[in-house]
Amino acid sequence: MKILYGIQGTGNGHITRSTRIIQCLQERGIKVDAIFSGCDKNKIYDTSIIHAKGFFKGFTFSVKNGSIQYINTAKNLSIGRFIKDLYAFDASGYDLVITDFDPVSAFVAKKNKIPSLGLGHQYAFLHDIPMDRSNYPARLIIRNFAPAEFSIGMHWHHFDCPIVPPVIPRNLYLPEKTHPDLILVYLPFENHDHIRQLLRPFKDYRFAVYAGNSDYPKTCDDNIIWHPFSKTRFHKDLTLCQGVICNAGFELPSEAMSLGKKLLVKPLKRQFEQISNAMTINLLKLGTAVDTLDYHHIKKFLDTDMAYQHTYPDTAMHIADWILAGNLDNPRDLINTVWQSSAPPDKAYNTGT
């Protein structure tokens, strides 16, 4: 069996979960080629696992100061290039296309009549789950951006839909002792001066702030340490910290929940997925979601010692077994098996003890 795996490269979450799924597929003797869209060749990924067959522009959103810029997004669309890439791609020999919200692989599958499977958080929004229902254009886009013949969504709860738990890296572990004064901050789309002004007043804490790329120099700024993006260092700080402040994506909050870190998220303005995630976090009481980050929100977050922990199964392993069994049109066994092996959220506990 040979699979083409399309990865949306605009965020690190798509790459993290895709890497683990590809690894599980390879362990079962399946050959996997990957393509990326929305990023260039210097994107950080595990070359020992992912065999990158190509990098494509695809479609991406333009973001400035934590808000999506729709006019700039429209200006930067390259429909002609997308069509050219689509028709130039050699899809011969593939038995299945898997897309983690990557439009190039999705439409390659459609053009070449190859069975396709959508795997990722965005596919959860094809079902009746908590979401920003006021943004109909965004809901329309998410349904048609990277369509697949079959799809399995990922979320923090199944909502009685074909949805599986998040894919958590297997190398995450809790050390014997965490640092109660360390807070991990990942806000790659926010203005750095604004982040600095928010965090400086809290002198009793150390903030490990990660930039969105690996070229950003490491600098110490009073109680703030600015890091270039490094997956190894990032995961180390994630395990050592007491809490996480981030945008309302999916992968990082999932990892924080699995480690029992208290969580404060701020969705990107006008970003349908993140606004919907924030709604779910507040609804399920998995953390705190706010529309804006200010002194009072940060202080309230730092002052609380309450967090939740959720033990997720090795979702990627279950997905790989299900794909190998060839039951793409029947996800019920996968859904039942994976949630039965997922421990429910533990009750709130005190992170200060």
> Rounded to whole angstroms, how far apart are CA atoms 31 and 323?
13
pLDDT of residue 346: 43
Taking phi over 0 as left and psi of -120 to 50 as alpha, with beta for the rest, 101 belongs to left
Question: Secondary structure of 147-203 in the HEC alphabet?
Answer: CCCEEEEECCCCCCCCEECCCCCCCCCCCCCCCCCEEEEECCCCCHHHHHHHHCCCC
Strand-strand pairing, 288-289 and 306-307? unpaired
Q: Which residue has the higher pLDDT, 138 or 290?
A: 290
Residue 351 has pLDDT above 50, yes or no: no
For 23, other C-beta atoms within 10 Å of its C-beta total 18
**Average confidence (pLDDT) over 8-29:** 93
The reported pLDDT for the residue numbered 349 is 36
CA distances from 36 to 55, 84, 148, 185, 219 (A): 5, 16, 17, 26, 31
The single-letter code of the amino acid at 60 is: T
Asked if the model's pLDDT at residue 155 lies above 60, the reply is: yes
Closest by CA to 146, choosing from 112, 111, 118, is 118
Greatest CA span in the chain, whole angstroms?
59
- The ranges assigned to domains in the chain are 2-165+313-340, 182-307
Cβ neighbors of 316 (< 8 A, separation 6 or more) are: 17, 20, 21, 23, 24, 167
Query: CB–CB of 233/252 below 8 Å?
Result: no
Whether 164 has a pLDDT exceeding 80, the answer reads yes
pLDDT value of position 320: 98
pLDDT tens column, 316-348: 999 999 999 998 999 999 999 999 877 655 433
Residue-wise pLDDT for 257-266, tens only, equals: 999 999 999 9
Please tell me the distance from the alpha carbon of residue 240 to that of residue 129, in angstroms, as a whole number: 33
d(CA 129, CA 132): 10
182-307 and 2-165+313-340 share a CATH fold: yes
Q: How far apart are CA 144 and CA 261, in angstroms?
A: 35
The span from the CA of 274 to the CA of 265, in Å, is 9
pLDDT at 15 over 80: yes
For 186-222, the pLDDT digits (tens) are: 998 888 899 999 999 999 999 999 976 666 778 998 9
The predicted pLDDT at position 175 comes to 80
Of 261, 308, 312, which is closest to residue 282 (Cα–Cα)?
308
Burial class (CB in 10 A: 0-12, 13-18, 19+), 291: exposed
Domain 2-165+313-340 sits in CATH at 3.40.50.2000
pLDDT given for residue 73 in this prediction? 52
The fold of 182-307 is Rossmann fold (3.40.50)
First to last CA, the chain: 50
Q: Where are the alpha helices (DSSP H) in the chain?
A: 12-27, 70-75, 79-88, 103-112, 136-144, 192-199, 231-240, 251-259, 272-283, 295-303, 315-325, 332-340
Task: Check if the beta carbon of residue 157 is closer than 8 Å to that of residue 127.
Answer: no
Residue 347 confidence (pLDDT): 39
Whether residue 107 has pLDDT greater than 90:
yes
Cβ-contact 136, 99 below 8 angstroms = no
